[in-house]
Amino acid sequence: MSRTPQRRAVVVGTGHRARTFTRALAERPGHVVAALCDPSPTRMAFHNRLLADAGEPAATEWEPGRFADLLAEEDIDEVVVTTVDAEHDRYIVPAIEAGCRVVTEKPMTVDAERCARILDTVRSTGNSLTVAFHLTAYSPWEGYRVMFNGSAGRLELEVEESRWQRPTTRIGSAGGALHGETAAEHAGGARLTLRPLWRAPLDIPLVTAHEAHGGGDPRMLDALFGPVDGTRPADAAAVTHPTATERDGALALAVGLAANPCFETGLPVAVAELVPGIGPDSGAHRDQGEVGEQGDQVQAR
């Protein structure tokens, strides 16, 4: 672990989504991307160009097979895991064991065995894991509607991220819209309507953004790495809001993990039995308060 004022970070997996984290670390004081880890020299070279564009020094480039050496030789404090989902645990576990702070993309992992391995490592070391998020695809229509009824009337919010999408005819490289970095081709909008009792409805103006996951990415990055100094004011709510931990990541997988054995046997599957350590009394480290009991007795049918 380094003793410098800046936290030395490695970005593991330098694909499309990793660009968000490389740029975020480069523009934030107190962080430096010291290393990159990926099987592709071409992808790592692209990320080093991102660092150069941000006025940052080049990061050293490492093959995945030397990850343990990387952690030691580069004095790594912080590990950002943005590899393919099935490879997450390969880097999360040794990084936690080395005492690094670890941030991983969602999903945390892909099956019950890997999930249990991560939870066991957290429990045995007393360290923790932070789970970010990603957006894997746009559906033909994507959005949501929320209504609040009260004693004085009704408040309605309708958000359309994507009004419609063209069918996919071939597999190509992922674009910014697919990853939420830019607006979708047929992006919709947002409408907030107040319907007071016995009076005409009122349309309330909104400021919205489609890129950066509807403005969510800057808030998430503030919560993970702190605010950008001097370029914009920090979002105080984002900085102080608890981030998702390893247990949150496991609970997010719960129904899917239970579904496969349920399909095979046709019987209910108790998540707590499928993934030991997922319960609230597992002993896993939490410094952000306990979550509720919902999800602990989830069964798939």
What is the pLDDT confidence band of residue 288, given thresholds at 50, 70 and 90? Answer: very low
User: Per residue in 67-97, pLDDT tens?
Assistant: 999 999 999 999 999 999 999 999 999 999 9
Exposure pattern of 120-132 as b/e (b: 16+ CB <10 Å)? ebbbeeebbbbbb
Q: Which class for 157: exposed (0-12), middle (13-18), buried (19 or more C-beta within 10 A)?
A: middle
Asked whether the predicted pLDDT for residue 284 surpasses 60, the reply is no
CA–CA gap between residue 207 and residue 38 (Å, rounded): 39
Rounded to 10 degrees, what is the CA torsion of 112, 113, 117, 122?
10
- Identity of the residue numbered 262: C
Asked whether the predicted pLDDT for residue 291 surpasses 70, the reply is no
CA–CA gap between residue 221 and residue 132 (Å, rounded): 9
What is the pLDDT confidence band of residue 190, given thresholds at 50, 70 and 90? Answer: confident
- Identity of the residue numbered 59: A
Asked whether the predicted pLDDT for residue 136 surpasses 70, the reply is no
Task: Please give the pLDDT value at position 62.
Answer: 98
What is the pLDDT confidence band of residue 2, given thresholds at 50, 70 and 90? Answer: low
Q: Which is nearest to 46 in space by CA: 74, 80, 14?
A: 14
- Identity of the residue numbered 9: A
Identify the residue whose tokens are 């063209």: 166
Domain boundaries along the sequence of the chain: 7-105, 137-208, 246-300
Cβ count near 30 (within 10 Å) = 11
What CATH number has the domain spanning 7-105?
3.40.50.720
CA–CA gap between residue 165 and residue 159 (Å, rounded): 16
User: Per residue in 82-135, pLDDT tens?
Assistant: 999 999 999 999 999 999 999 999 899 999 999 999 999 999 999 989 998 644
CA–CA gap between residue 279 and residue 190 (Å, rounded): 38
| 60, 62, 67 from 40: Cα distances, Å | 13, 10, 14
